[in-house]
Amino acid sequence: MAREQKHEEHQNHEAWAIPYADLITLLLAFFVVMYAISSVNEGKYRVLSDAMVSAFNGAPSAKSPPPPPPPPSAAAATGTPQGAINLPVTGTAPRSALPPLANNSTQDAVNPAHGDLQAASAAAALERVAQSVEHAMHDLVAKNLVAVRRGDSSVEVEIRTDILFPSGSATLAPSAIEILTRLAESLRSVANPIRVEGHTDDRPINTHAFPSNWELSAARASSVVHLFSSRDIEPARLAVIGLGEYRPVKSNTTSEGRNANRRVVIVILSPDSSTDAAPDRGAQPARAVVAPEAVH
């Protein structure tokens, strides 16, 4: 009987590929899971959690829809990266999480009634000043030699210069000292800034002391300021402005008009105003401003 010849089994040299492919698949799955964990947000975390619960324990009894991710603006405002899970914080909140303190400007913007209250208080204070001046100058107001006008942020006291100064002069007449002293006493107890404006008519002047109406108007206003300062009005509250003939109230073609244009205007400003603020009545021409010490 012939003996059966055994054939050697063929050796498979590619058998390593199967476990290698399984290893690569597991590594890929591992890195996918790691990447998903590193970039998960609350919504994705809930979806993954519900999927795992469904896979191992069945579907949950009450599945709530995942909340939408926070908008980028909210993440930027809180300093939390988008997609990060916000964990509850115990203890004292960090300083960056505390709300900013509101200053006066933001308080006024949030609460307009606060600004309205301040404006109403300032208007009431100006009205008290106007009434005090009218009481002190009542006889001159009745004769139309003094006019008291009320504005939104100031009270104007206009005095005709023919009762204050001789023609072409910046020296106060004796009768003017008593008039301005009464006015100074009514303004002494208030803290409002005071601006004194000098005005002239359009008749030219050219003297050694006053080369033009600029100097004459400024010198007259400065004389009034010096008297106020000598009557215990704080000098820091006072300012002098010379406007010359460039702010007429009437036509200079008549003597009555020129007389009305020769005037001194004492402007009592709101307490929060500055004495060097520009006049708020119409367009602004150039003007000469003289410090109280410039004219003696």
One domain for residues 136 and 277? yes
One domain for residues 143 and 262? yes
Residue with tokens 């990447």: 35
| Residue 183 counted as domain residue | yes
One domain for residues 284 and 156? yes
Show the tokens assigned to 88.
């509850």
| Residue 73 counted as domain residue | no
How much is the pLDDT for 115?
A: 67
| Residue 33 counted as domain residue | yes
Task: Render pLDDT for 223-280 as a digit per residue (tens, 0 to 9).
Answer: 999 999 999 999 999 999 999 999 999 999 999 999 999 999 999 998 876 555 544 5
| Residue 152 counted as domain residue | yes
| Residue 168 counted as domain residue | yes
Query: What span, in angstroms and rounded, lies between the C-alpha atoms of 75 and 60?
Result: 31
| Residue 137 counted as domain residue | yes
Burial 161-181 (b: 16+ CB within 10 A, else e): beebbeeebbebeeebeebbe
Question: No. of H helices and E strands in the chain?
Answer: 9, 5
Give the angle 73-69-62 at the CA atoms, nearest 5°. 155
pTM: 0.57
Considering its fold, how many domains does the chain have in total?
A: 2
One domain for residues 148 and 289? yes
Beta pairing class for 194-199 and 238-242: parallel
Q: Is the dihedral of CA 281, 159, 172, 170 positive or negative?
A: positive
Show the tokens assigned to 89.
């914080």
Task: Render pLDDT for 106-117 as a digit per residue (tens, 0 to 9).
Answer: 455 556 666 678
How much is the pLDDT for 8?
A: 61
Q: Is the dihedral of CA 154, 227, 287, 272 positive or negative?
A: negative
Q: What are the residues whose beta carbons fall under 8 Å from the beta carbon of 60, sequence distance 6 or more?
A: 50, 53, 54
Q: Is the pLDDT of residue 145 over 80?
A: yes
Task: Render pLDDT for 186-205 as a digit per residue (tens, 0 to 9).
Answer: 999 888 999 999 999 999 99
Residue with more model confidence, 285 or 145: 145
Q: Domain limits at 40? A: 19-55
Question: What SS3 class is residue 82?
Answer: coil
How much is the pLDDT for 95?
A: 39
One domain for residues 253 and 142? yes
Average pLDDT, integer, range 5-11: 61
How much is the pLDDT for 15?
A: 75
| Residue 225 counted as domain residue | yes
